[in-house]
Amino acid sequence: MKCKVLVMIIVIAVCSSNATISNDEKIERDIKALITSMNSSDSIISLLKLIEWESDLIYQIPCIPPTFVYHQLRVSSHYGRRVHPIHGNVKHHNGIDLPLSHGDTVVVSADGKVTSQGYDRRLGNFVKVRHICGFETVYGHLSKILVVTGEVVKISKPIGLCGSTGDSTGPHVHYGIKKNGVFINPLDYCELLFEMQK
Ligand SMILES: [Zn+2]
């Protein structure tokens, strides 16, 4: 009799712990679906702050600048319409340019999977990484590529070295973010991790 009671207690304990896990998983799935459907960075940041989610979800969303060299981090060319530094015409700049020294390490801004890498006439040596919730990041003008297509990468992993390949007037990394296939301003996400830790 005592043994039966013990077995029942264990079964109830296992069932209830399973229920908790699947509940957490369901909540995480719902949050990811919600973030996927959102396109405004303000809404996404507000949601993340509101839920104070304690999983590693934040590391799966672009949330840091693509470099360790924070002390000299500045934007030499912003997202949006600009006069192209080489072609001289007004064009939409679909990312931000961060001047670094030649050979400085460029890191991935969130967990993800490398979808392509190679050489493009404009972007030079580039890496593209897909993340959850419809995010994709692009890193251009690299002097060297350190990852291969299909590689799974963790946030802050070195993916290349800064260079000046392609349409470029000096060593810098061109950093772009796409959300659901559309380029957005990466600057909104460069300090997201810092914002969340405040
Ligand atoms: Zn650029």
pTM of the entire structure?
A: 0.84
Report the CATH fold assignment for 60-197.
Glucose Permease (Domain IIA) (2.70.70)
CA of 16 to the centre of ligand 1 (A): 52
- pLDDT score, position 158: 98
Cβ-in-10-Å burial (0-12, 13-18, 19+) of 26 comes to exposed
Distance 67 CA to ligand 1 centre (A): 15
For residue 127, which of 186, 169, 84, 174 has the smallest C-alpha distance? Answer: 174
Domain ranges for the chain: 60-197
| 55 confidence band (pLDDT: 50, 70, 90) | low
Closest CA relative to residue 178, chosen from 134, 147, 120:
134
- At residue 157, the 3 state secondary structure works out as coil
Which burial class, exposed, middle or buried, applies to 143 when counting CB atoms under 10 A from its CB (0-12, 13-18, 19+)?
Answer: middle
Measured in Å, residue 126 CA sits from the centre of ligand 1 at 12
Distance of CA 24 to the CA centre of its chain: 23
Between the CA of 25 and the centroid of ligand 1 the distance, in Å, is 38
* 153/24 Cα distance (integer angstroms): 25
Distance 60 CA to ligand 1 centre (A): 24
Kindly report, residue by residue over 90-111, the tens digit of the pLDDT: 888 999 999 999 999 999 999 9
pLDDT, one tens digit per residue, over 27-50 is: 888 889 999 999 888 888 888 888
SS3 172: strand
- The per-residue pLDDT for range 139-194, each reduced to its tens digit, is 999 999 999 999 999 999 999 999 999 999 999 999 999 999 999 999 999 988 88
Q: Could you give the CA distance from residue 171 to residue 76 in angstroms, rounded to a whole number?
A: 11
Q: 44 CA to middle of ligand 1, Å?
A: 25
* Tokens read off for 159: 């993916």
